[in-house]
Structure 1
């Protein structure tokens, strides 16, 4: 759809299939950033007086977008900052469950601390593997990506909601970085205790901004240790010892977090249901073509649900061949990762498939 592509000049030069690595910056976000820095240039301290108001608006926008009360939303610069701060607030040792070969920023952060760690395999039986690991290990917390960065395997939202009902004492910590912005998501109804997301990918908000969503019950289970003057500054953080303030110890960047607010407004204008439908069309078309060409691993082929991220069989020669046609992808693992967002089209899928067939000879 033309309305999906409007405001992304880079699409005039490239077939951009690389949102899983870096989302595009929309013109509307860029315009906000230009205006913000001009105000900073000529107003300086006067702009600072309005920082609290803007950050409150950002927090409320995030809460509204994902259905989470604003006083349970923390603004963080990225996933890793938020996740490590959360882990430092957990009593140790604890039993942790991870997914084998999940995103390094999850697994490395847990493995580097004094936790007793077990793993579930990522394959076509992912949900079953997790359920069996829960039954065997009874973990204190489960940290995982909703969508796998390597191959796009996507966990069922209904599955971990049901799992939480069966294991209410386990803390569920989800990375939404490869998920948020691809479909409608209701945090309050999800069963998650914590969702953490960097916003530079599918939310198209640029770098330096992210957020954490908390279930109210988590506050008695985690004791964050970070604290600073910023912990008590602004609406929702006035009370000493408040929970979200311990994830925001210093000054927050109004340029970057303001960019997040504008990006969320743009997605709302597009319509999450329309975005979800567009991605479903693209993933179904591309998955069928990749499968026909023998480019997908069995674990992906056999699953009913999938994201719009794929890792196809291919080496550096294929990667460079695609790049020579201005098709932007990533090398990940043993293959080439391809990711479609709402601004991509079925014509671009056809063009990609044509190039893959041409390369295969």
Structure 2
């Protein structure tokens, strides 16, 4: 595996356990960004003449990375903007299933648009709770985070396939911002209809980029009929009126989306299988050691599989102590969130455990 730690100067002075908040900038990405702006500086508008060819290459890279060759791939500055565009196109009589305490960009966005909403509880029986809510409330849409941002609880991907088989008319929309870049994922064979992601966390793409993946035919299905009619009858350039334009209106920044493309290529070179193996090893080690200290929620301990995001028992006092020791974490929910990416090491975990013994 390529040792990206050599390109991450922050790791030489800091125990960075905070990728769930923000991924890191690394040397070769910095070089790309500097070269990009140098060419813009030297060429002005000429630099943008081939932007559509370049952005098409970004879409192709994203689609290949997640195996979405048959579906549509839209570029969006972030997941939240993409989700709100989707919600604006849904019929107001849709009934939407959410997870309680899910990411506010999901739950608030749905609730403030006036949809009828039902919920499933996030605990060690998450999948059972979801199916129970589907049977009871009969939602038409299910929107959720694949990995919970507060404590790292992860929905079983095989369960989503089963749900899609049992309830084929249920529109399944997933926020994968805390998931993409942590393991091999084949969108085309998943039970997910629409998947969105911001690129600044586990994909290491920096801010201002993201994407939405649609299964074949779904982009048209969720586009309001009046938009379809208007686009068909319009005399304007089709790039302004096609179905993709609803998500990609206005200019797209080649700096931001070029950063995403660069990082996807780097992650591909490293190998998603290698990344997944390393993250799984770190997550297993961290879960065992944190559990021995009785620092994890019971619902996390009981889960058969888990991500590399953990919320440990602790307050702002402990958080400040860790920060002073250059151990970077986040205050989330009722505790302290840590998150481990492939550039972390078991030594990082040992340093955290040693600090927890000292300050608890």
**TM-score of the aligned structures, taking structure 1 as reference length:** 0.94
Listed one character per residue, the Cα deviations across residues 53-93 of structure 1 (whole Å, up to 9, x for unaligned) are 11011000000000002760000000111000000000112
* Alignment partner, residue 183 of structure 2: 183
CA–CA separation in structure 2 for the residues paired with 1:70 and 1:41: 38
Q: CA deviation at 1:27?
A: 1.5
Q: Give unpaired runs (5+ residues) of structure 1.
A: none
Listed one character per residue, the Cα deviations across residues 245-269 of structure 1 (whole Å, up to 9, x for unaligned) are 2211111100000000000001011
Q: CA deviation at 1:226?
A: 11
CA–CA separation in structure 1 for the residues paired with 2:167 and 2:20: 31
- Matches of residues 171-210 of structure 1 in structure 2 within 5 Å? 171-210=171-210
Structure 1 residues 63, 150: CA separation in 2 closer, same or farther (over 3 Å shift)? same
CA–CA separation in structure 1 for the residues paired with 2:34 and 2:224: 35
Tell me the secondary structure at the aligned position of residue 6 of structure 1.
helix
Structure 1 residues 40, 177: CA separation in 2 closer, same or farther (over 3 Å shift)? same
CA RMSD for the aligned pairs? 1.8
Q: Give unpaired runs (5+ residues) of structure 2.
A: none
* Alignment partner, residue 87 of structure 1: 87
Count of residue pairs the alignment pairs up = 353
Q: Is the 8 A contact 1:290 1:296 kept in 2?
A: yes
Tell me the secondary structure at the aligned position of residue 60 of structure 2.
helix
Q: Is the 8 A contact 1:100 1:120 kept in 2?
A: yes
Q: Is the 8 A contact 2:75 2:211 kept in 1?
A: yes
Q: CA deviation at 1:114?
A: 1.9
Structure 1 residues 190, 43: CA separation in 2 closer, same or farther (over 3 Å shift)? same
* Alignment partner, residue 72 of structure 1: 72
Listed one character per residue, the Cα deviations across residues 272-325 of structure 1 (whole Å, up to 9, x for unaligned) are 001001011101111001100010010000001100000000001110111111
* Alignment partner, residue 309 of structure 1: 309
Listed one character per residue, the Cα deviations across residues 143-176 of structure 1 (whole Å, up to 9, x for unaligned) are 0000000000001111111101111111100000
Q: CA deviation at 1:222?
A: 1.0
Structure 1 residues 287, 225: CA separation in 2 closer, same or farther (over 3 Å shift)? farther
Q: Is the 8 A contact 1:72 1:213 kept in 2?
A: yes
CA–CA separation in structure 2 for the residues paired with 1:161 and 1:284: 25
* Alignment partner, residue 319 of structure 1: 319
CA–CA separation in structure 1 for the residues paired with 2:169 and 2:9: 48
Tell me the secondary structure at the aligned position of residue 196 of structure 2.
strand
Q: CA deviation at 1:225?
A: 9.0
Tell me the secondary structure at the aligned position of residue 148 of structure 1.
coil
Q: Is the 8 A contact 2:76 2:209 kept in 1?
A: yes
